Amino acid sequence: MKITNIRTQTLNAPLKTPFVTSLRRVNALEDLVVIIECDDGSIGYGEGAPTPQITGETIGSMIACIAFIKPYILGLEIEDFDTILMKVHTLILKNTTAKSALEIALYDLKSKASKLPLYRMLGGTQTKFSTDITISMGEINRMISDCHNAVALGYDTLKIKIGDNPSKDVERVSAIHKALDRNIKLRLDANQGWTAKESVSLLHALEKQDIIAEFIEQPVAADDIEGLKYIKKRVQTPLLADESIFSLKDARQLLEMQAIDYVNIKLAKTAGITQALELADLSKSFGVKCMIGCMLEGPISVAAGVHVASAKADIITMLDLDAVSLLASHPVATSIQFDESEITLSQDKGLGVSFE
């Protein structure tokens, strides 16, 4: 099964409502689909959405990265999987979303060649999951009504985006907490919007009101490792690292320092599936559970995330894979079915990708 061509095409899809975090505001998804063709007619699909503010990539840089790697892997056999992966990861540094898109397509091909769904090839058995949904940052009343709408659709875990205005964030979370039933779980994501000292005082203010979120995600700047440790020592609310962890090296440092309670794995940060699986194993060795998350990205890469969650179901206990649910429409079917918060994996081979 020889690789004969690698193509890319952009995928644009409108969002139901704008996606707003402390780092950005987005009205539509624009991501890149990678299509790898083989001499036996097999096709592998991958995908990635550049998030310039987080990974430093754009659609243009992803296309350039894939074009740079392409001549080195054309003509190779999928059976030489490790050699191909080594080339993807060593020919060029960083570019984690572009490499992830390539890796997803390669894993899709490999699992199709094995005649298995990807999760089964990776040793997974779980096929049913539930995900949270993101509540974009905004005015309190708007956030509360978005929360009510999500709960009405069946979501019992909401990820609340905060962090643009520390003085407003406690008020936002208190008001949302008050407006919802006690059985609704809140995850807070400040996207690096607070300082360490602010984080402690804001979380204490919430804890005094008996508001202990499932976790607070990435309250401080990605490189503020000491800040994470400072916060963890002082608050009850569990601490989850997102932008601080791209690589195994990043994770090992935080885990050894006991600076975090949870790791957020995203394929666009780990440069694909291989290091995501390794990151789950590393976290497990420290007794730390993981969430698998996604950028604002499309159905193929989100499907890959679900397959990884199945492969490491004992350690990836939380899913934040709502990106597809935020799209008003898109032209791709995959092996995952979304029924609002409930996700089901089918027995399609590979990632089960087809285009309308």
Which of 57, 132, 189, 348 binds Mg ion (CB under 5 A)? It is: 189
For 76, the token pair is 């190779």
Q: Which stretch binds Mg ion (CB under 5 A): 25-33, 118-126, 182-190, 340-348?
A: 182-190
DSSP 239-267: EEESTT-SSHHHHHHHHHTT--SEEEE-H
Q: Whose CA is closest to 246, among 220, 223, 214, 215?
A: 223
Helix, strand, coil content of the chain in percent (nearest 5): 40, 25, 35
Can you tell me the distance from the alpha carbon of 272 to that of 266, in angstroms, rounded to the nearest whole number? Answer: 8
Can you tell me the distance from the alpha carbon of 24 to that of 51, in angstroms, rounded to the nearest whole number? Answer: 9
Using the minimum distance from each CB to Mg ion, give the nearer residue, 31 or 189.
189
Using the minimum distance from each CB to Mg ion, give the nearer residue, 85 or 292.
292
Give the chain's end-to-end CA distance (angstroms, integer). Answer: 26
For 3, the token pair is 């690789």
Using the minimum distance from each CB to Mg ion, give the nearer residue, 132 or 189.
189
Using the minimum distance from each CB to Mg ion, give the nearer residue, 95 or 134.
134
Q: Is 208 a catalytic residue?
A: no
Any contact of residue 47 with Mg ion (CB under 5 A)? no
Any contact of residue 132 with Mg ion (CB under 5 A)? no
**Of 112, 161, 269, 349, which is the active-site residue?**
161
Q: Smallest gap, in angstroms, from Cβ of residue 218 to Mg ion?
A: 5
Any contact of residue 108 with Mg ion (CB under 5 A)? no
DSSP 72-121: HHTT-BTT-HHHHHHHHHHSSSS-HHHHHHHHHHHHHHHHHHTTSBHHHH
Q: Smallest gap, in angstroms, from Cβ of residue 159 to Mg ion?
A: 8
Can you tell me the distance from the alpha carbon of 224 to that of 301, in angstroms, rounded to the nearest whole number? Answer: 29
- The CB-nearest residue to Mg ion is 242
Q: Smallest gap, in angstroms, from Cβ of residue 21 to Mg ion?
A: 8
**Eight-class DSSP state of 165:** -
Do residues 35 and 9 touch, judged by C-beta distance below 8 A? yes
Q: Is 168 a catalytic residue?
A: no
Using the minimum distance from each CB to Mg ion, give the nearer residue, 56 or 60.
56
Any contact of residue 242 with Mg ion (CB under 5 A)? yes
Q: Smallest gap, in angstroms, from Cβ of residue 41 to Mg ion?
A: 39
Any contact of residue 297 with Mg ion (CB under 5 A)? no
**CA distances from residue 310 to 165, 181, 216, 283, 346 in whole angstroms, order as listed:** 37, 30, 24, 16, 12
Any contact of residue 322 with Mg ion (CB under 5 A)? no
Using the minimum distance from each CB to Mg ion, give the nearer residue, 84 or 318.
318
Q: Smallest gap, in angstroms, from Cβ of residue 48 to Mg ion?
A: 17
Which 195-234 positions form the footprint of Mg ion (CB under 5 A)? 217
**Of 266, 269, 312, 349, which is the active-site residue?**
266
Contacts with Mg ion by CB under 5 A lie at 189, 217, 242
Kindly list the catalytic residues: 161, 266
